[in-house]
């Protein structure tokens, strides 16, 4: 008798752990042939709130890491992704890709992580300034991470799209809660397993599966979410998110126009979107007419 295989329970990722949704709900995931291939967690708003708490708790630590360390961790994620290539390709095929397309998507996703790993300790230099004020002060402006970012991931590009939106957020020192593509959640769930083994502190990235219709309004209304990155498909969705998000002056970004397979879809301006500019002033001692300046 042949061995009975072990079926995988697909779970969500909150605070570095893999719980099931607290709601106990699920939705069946079907393949192209209409066969059920997995029961996916139908995350609730309580799951989302738990994820925000985990993310907020992780923010000081992650944003306080040295840029070099963040860079190495992003690179480590790329390494782990490369090591699990076979699994990702199989799961992308399961959710409708051809093998060739799956391989291409995976390779681009890995390269994208490496691209942003390199930006971690460089974007600050691109976007900072020392400001030549008239008075005798040293004055400089630097980007700082916005904080807790809620992400509605691209629906079509379930791995590359996901990586492309997470990486710039992460590189900039933010923490996030991501809602995976509703109909193609497998890559996101497995990506959580990659994150869990990449020295990324728990809570920095939290991944939920479920329905955009349920979770997106929670993202927009939550008072401890600083920004929403939306890469979905419906104009009504983004409109409502913008409307609701005004409740605490959220920064709301529509990244949906990006073609994630193009080289244009990776750039430091996406990191910059989730940054606040802080300007610091300090007097320069100015005795007589010595007039030191920067």
Partner 1 sequence: MPIKPKATKSVAKQTAKKTITKKATLDFVGGWSYAPSPESKDHIRLEKKYGHFINGEFVKPSAGKYMATHSPSTEEHLADVALGDAADVDKAVKAARKAYDTVWSKMPASERGKYLYRIARMIQERARELSVIESMDGGKSIRESRDIDIPIAAAHFFYYAGWADKLEYAFPNRTVTSVGVAGQIIPWNFPLLMAAWKIAPALACGNTVVLKPAETTPLTALKLAEIIRDCGLPPGVVNIVTGDGRAGAALVSHPDIDKIAFTGSTDVGKIIQKAIAGTNKKITLELGGKAANIIFEDAPIDQAVEGIINGIFFNQGHVCCAGSRLFVQEGIADKVIRKLKDRMETLVVGDPLDKNTDIGAINSREQLDKINHYLKLGVKEGAEMWQSSCAVPRKGNFCRPTIFLHASQSHRIVQEEIFGPVLAIQTFRTVEEVLEKANNTPYGLSAGVWTDKGSKIFNMTSRLRAGVVWANTYNKFDPTSPFGGYKESGFGREGGLHGLLPYVNLK
> Can you give the binding site for partner 1, defined by CB under 8 A?
126, 129, 131-135, 137, 139, 141, 144, 146, 226, 235, 238-243, 245-249, 251, 267, 269, 276-283
Distance separating alpha carbons of residues 220 and 247, to the nearest angstrom:
8
Nearer to partner 1 by Cβ, of 23 and 240: the residue is 240
> Using DSSP, how many helices (H) and how many strands (E) does the chain show?
10, 10
Element housing 251 (H / E): strand 251-254
Nearer to partner 1 by Cβ, of 39 and 267: the residue is 267
Terminal Cα-to-Cα distance of the chain (whole angstroms):
79
Min dist. Cβ of residue 209 to partner 1 (A): 27
Alpha helices in 95-211 (DSSP H): 99-119, 123-127, 160-171, 186-196
Rg over CA atoms, the chain: 21
Residue with tokens 């379930």: 158
Min dist. Cβ of residue 259 to partner 1 (A): 14
Cα-based distances in Å from 125 to 35, 73, 128, 216, 268: 51, 20, 5, 34, 11
Nearer to partner 1 by Cβ, of 97 and 146: the residue is 146
Residues whose CB is less than 8 angstroms from the CB of residue 87 and which lie 6 or more positions away in sequence, other chains included:
190
Min dist. Cβ of residue 241 to partner 1 (A): 8
Distance separating alpha carbons of residues 211 and 44, to the nearest angstrom:
9
Closest alpha carbon to 149 in 118, 127, 170? 170
Nearer to partner 1 by Cβ, of 156 and 243: the residue is 243
Min dist. Cβ of residue 29 to partner 1 (A): 31
Min dist. Cβ of residue 132 to partner 1 (A): 6
Nearer to partner 1 by Cβ, of 30 and 276: the residue is 276
Nearer to partner 1 by Cβ, of 164 and 226: the residue is 226
Min dist. Cβ of residue 67 to partner 1 (A): 13
The SS3 call for residue 270 is: helix
Min dist. Cβ of residue 244 to partner 1 (A): 8
Nearer to partner 1 by Cβ, of 13 and 255: the residue is 255
Closest alpha carbon to 88 in 108, 103, 73? 103
Backbone angles phi, psi at 146, to 5 degrees: -65, -35
């Amino acid at each position: 008798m042949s061995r009975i295989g072990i079926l995988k329970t697909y779970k969500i990722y909150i605070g570095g752990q893999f719980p099931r949704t607290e709601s106990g709900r699920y939705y069946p995931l079907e393949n192209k042939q209409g066969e059920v291939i997995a029961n996916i967690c139908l995350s609730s708003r309580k799951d989302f709130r738990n994820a925000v708490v985990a993310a907020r708790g992780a923010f000081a630590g992650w944003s306080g890491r040295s840029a070099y360390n963040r860079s190495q961790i992003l690179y480590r994620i790329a390494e782990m992704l490369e090591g699990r290539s076979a699994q990702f390709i199989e799961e992308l095929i399961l959710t409708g890709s051809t093998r060739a397309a799956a391989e291409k998507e995976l390779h681009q996703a890995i390269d994208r992580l490496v691209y942003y790993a390199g930006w971690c300790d460089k974007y600050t230099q691109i976007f900072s300034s020392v400001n030549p004020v008239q008075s005798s002060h040293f004055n400089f402006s630097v980007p700082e991470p916005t904080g807790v970012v809620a992400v509605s991931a691209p629906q079509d590009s379930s791995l590359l799209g996901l990586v492309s939106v997470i990486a710039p957020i992460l590189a900039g020192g933010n923490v996030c809660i991501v809602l995976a593509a509703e109909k193609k959640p497998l890559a996101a769930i497995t990506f959580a397993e990659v994150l869990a083994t990449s020295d990324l502190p728990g809570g920095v990235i939290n991944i939920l599966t479920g329905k955009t219709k349920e979770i997106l309004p929670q993202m927009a209304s939550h008072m401890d979410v600083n920004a929403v990155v939306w890469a979905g498909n419906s104009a009504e969705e983004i409109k409502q998110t913008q409307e609701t998000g005004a409740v605490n002056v959220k920064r709301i970004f529509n990244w949906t126009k990006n073609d994630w397979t193009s080289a244009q879809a990776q750039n430091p301006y996406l990191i910059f979107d989730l940054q606040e500019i802080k300007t610091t002033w300090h007097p320069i001692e100015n005795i007589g007419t010595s007039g030191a300046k920067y």
